[in-house]
């Protein structure tokens, strides 16, 4: 099955699901953020992985939607914490309404996530919910570490990689493991697929860091250079701080410590420093290490190659994505 078919299945069921109507101020923001689209990566991964073991992928559709709703809930709250003005090329919920509306609508999205999981009636539902609860707590832990890093002068590469594993990668790992469990995979295969998801999740976030700096703004859908403007501790900045010396280090610290600046000027100056240090190449190398590791795990699974092809192709798409 082609990627578009999986996405169409997700979009069709997401559009037809009734999250609620009144009060409109509570439910309209939910419909709004879900209508902004996105890659639908996580529910697609759930369906693809289910199909490795069972062609009846609609048995996984509601839990898959649950993963997508939870993901968007985290984005809604993250945007408040980051004071982000744009999401997928449109106003963020807290900008379009206000912080209180965004918080409360997000809370309902978390409740609806559980509703969607419960609609599956799977024999291993308790196991699924237990794994989801662990994953959801880890996502929150990752977000807290990310916020902690904002007030620290020094963050190590290993600390950063641990943070993005929690904040981003564990949810991709869970989405994939979820599909495996619903499809009827044994525990060994489910664990291997979780590890596959964890690695491509790490690669995915490192790609996101790169795109924030080097993407085409017309394609990216978010503010390019936003991480630089806010001094966000990304892999790129951490490596730049680690490798810079002399005048380059002075210049980098100048822009990191400057309180008043023209955003475009700061972004251009820091990118120039990154280019001098070869940060883009180093980041791409680290990113590809994780994607290669994930693909190696997928290839090692004792499953027909044709069945694994959608997952392989999607992983390659993530490596080459422009947004």
Q: Which residues contact 149 (CB under 8 A, 6 or more apart)?
A: 155, 159, 160, 163, 233
Q: Are 8 and 60 in contact (CB under 8 A)?
A: no
Percent of the chain past pLDDT 90, that is, above it, reads 87
Question: Residue 66, exposed/middle/buried by CB under 10 A (0-12, 13-18, 19+)?
Answer: buried
What is residue 41's predicted lDDT score, i.e. its pLDDT? 95
CATH code, domain carrying 190: 1.10.600.10
What is residue 153's predicted lDDT score, i.e. its pLDDT? 87
Q: Residue 258 corresponds to which tokens in the numbers above? A: 């400057």
Whole-angstrom distance, CA of residue 92 vs CA of residue 75:
9
Average pLDDT over residues 203-221: 85
What is the span of the domain harbouring residue 197? 3-320
What are the tens digits of pLDDT across the range 238-249? 999 999 999 999
**Whole-number mean pLDDT of the chain?**
94
Is residue 231 left, alpha or beta, with left meaning phi > 0 and alpha meaning psi from -120 to 50? left
DSSP 170-233: HHHHHHHHHHHHHHT--HHHHHHHHHHHHHHHHHHHHHHHHHHHHS-HHHH-S-TTHHHHTT--
What are the tens digits of pLDDT across the range 60-87? 999 999 999 999 999 999 999 988 888 8
What are the tens digits of pLDDT across the range 247-282? 999 999 999 999 999 999 999 999 999 999 999 999
Total domain count for the chain? 1
Task: Report which DSSP code applies to 121.
Answer: -
φ, ψ for residue 15, nearest 5 deg: -65, -30
* Upper half-sphere CA count for residue 284 (Cβ side, 13 Å): 12
Confidence of residue 305 (pLDDT cuts 50, 70, 90): confident
Q: Which of 88, 81, 53, 45 is nearest to 204 (CA)?
A: 45
Tally Cβ neighbours within 10 Å of residue 214.
18
What pTM, to 2 d.p., does this model score? 0.93
The answer to whether the Cα torsion of 46, 103, 146, 268 is positive or negative is positive
Q: Are 58 and 188 in contact (CB under 8 A)?
A: no
Checking if the pLDDT of 220 tops 80, the result is: no
Q: Which residues contact 161 (CB under 8 A, 6 or more apart)?
A: 202, 235
């Amino acid at each position: 099955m082609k990627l578009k078919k999986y996405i169409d299945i997700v979009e069709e069921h997401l559009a037809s699901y009734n999250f609620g109507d009144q009060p409109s101020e509570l439910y309209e923001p939910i419909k709004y953020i879900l209508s902004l689209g996105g890659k639908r990566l996580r529910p697609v991964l759930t369906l693809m992985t289910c199909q490795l073991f069972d062609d009846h992928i609609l048995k996984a559709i509601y839990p898959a939607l649950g993963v997508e709703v939870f993901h968007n809930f985290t984005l809604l709250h993250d945007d408040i914490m980051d004071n982000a003005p744009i999401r997928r090329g449109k106003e963020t919920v807290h900008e379009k309404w206000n912080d209180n509306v965004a918080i409360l609508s997000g809370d309902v999205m978390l409740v609806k996530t559980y509703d969607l999981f419960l609609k599956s009636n799977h024999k291993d539902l308790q196991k699924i919910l237990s794994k989801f609860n662990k994953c959801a707590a880890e996502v929150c832990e990752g977000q807290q570490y990310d916020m902690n890093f904002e007030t620290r002068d020094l963050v190590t590469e290993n600390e950063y990689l641990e943070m993005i594993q929690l904040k981003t990668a564990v949810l991709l790992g869970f989405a994939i493991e979820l599909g495996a469990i619903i499809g009827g995979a044994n525990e060994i295969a489910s664990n291997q697929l979780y590890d596959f998801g964890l690695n491509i999740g790490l690669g995915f976030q490192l790609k996101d860091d790169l795109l924030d700096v080097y993407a085409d703004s017309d394609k990216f859908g978010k503010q390019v250079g936003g991480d630089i403007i806010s001094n966000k501790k990304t892999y790129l900045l951490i490596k730049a701080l680690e490798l810079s010396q002399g005048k380059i280090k002075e210049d980098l610290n100048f822009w990191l410590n400057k309180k008043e600046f023209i955003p475009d000027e700061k972004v251009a100056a820091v990118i120039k420093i990154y280019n001098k240090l070869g940060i883009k190449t180093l980041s791409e190398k680290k990113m590809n290490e994780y994607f290669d590791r994930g693909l190696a795990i997928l290839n090692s699974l004792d499953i027909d190659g044709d069945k694994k092809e959608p997952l392989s192709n999607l992983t390659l798409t993530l490596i080459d994505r422009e947004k």
